[in-house]
Copies of this chain bind each other. A is one copy, B any other.
Amino acid sequence: MNIKEASTQTGVSSAAIRYYEKESLIPPIDRTEVGNRDIDERILRRIRFVTQMRAAGMSIESLRRYIELFDAQEDNTKEQKALLQAQLAVMEEKRDDLQAAIDHLNYKLNHFYDHMVTTEEELRALERQHVDKME
């Protein structure tokens, strides 16, 4: 499979695939006789893994170190587990921050519906809410 096809299959641009290879986020890719990249399923899966971790907010540098450790021949099980757990902790915190922001926006959205209620108390609460609408 050429790089164009791999790009289509993964949604990652050809240039980005080359960039990932250069940065060692994916293993060295086999070449055809004339020097063109010949991408197989294994590489595709790696590209998708990189995409997923990038989308999860992992930097190129972290990802490179992470992959380096996992690709190493030596048995780094302990370090690998520690790294996995550290990365998990980072991502879980990120997820929780995101959830907090979602809750915040949901709270604001729910308070829009107050415009439909009419008791005195609710109108006063609404007024207070309106002033601080952004917070």
Contacts and interface: CB of A to CB of B under 8 A. Distances in A.
B94 A98 contact: yes
Interface stretch (A7-15, A76-84, A120-128): A76-84
Contacts of A77: 112, 115
B112 A102 contact: no
**Residues of A in contact with B, size category:** 35 or more
Q: How many copies does the complex hold?
A: 2
Interface of A: 42, 45-46, 49, 52-53, 55-57, 67, 70-71, 77, 80-81, 84-85, 87-88, 91-92, 94-95, 97-102, 104-106, 108-109, 112, 115, 132-135
22 contacts: A45-B132, A46-B134, A49-B135, A52-B101, A52-B104, A53-B101, A55-B94, A55-B97, A55-B101, A56-B98, A67-B134, A70-B133, A70-B134, A71-B134, A77-B112, A77-B115, A81-B109, A84-B105, A91-B101, A94-B98, A95-B98, A95-B102
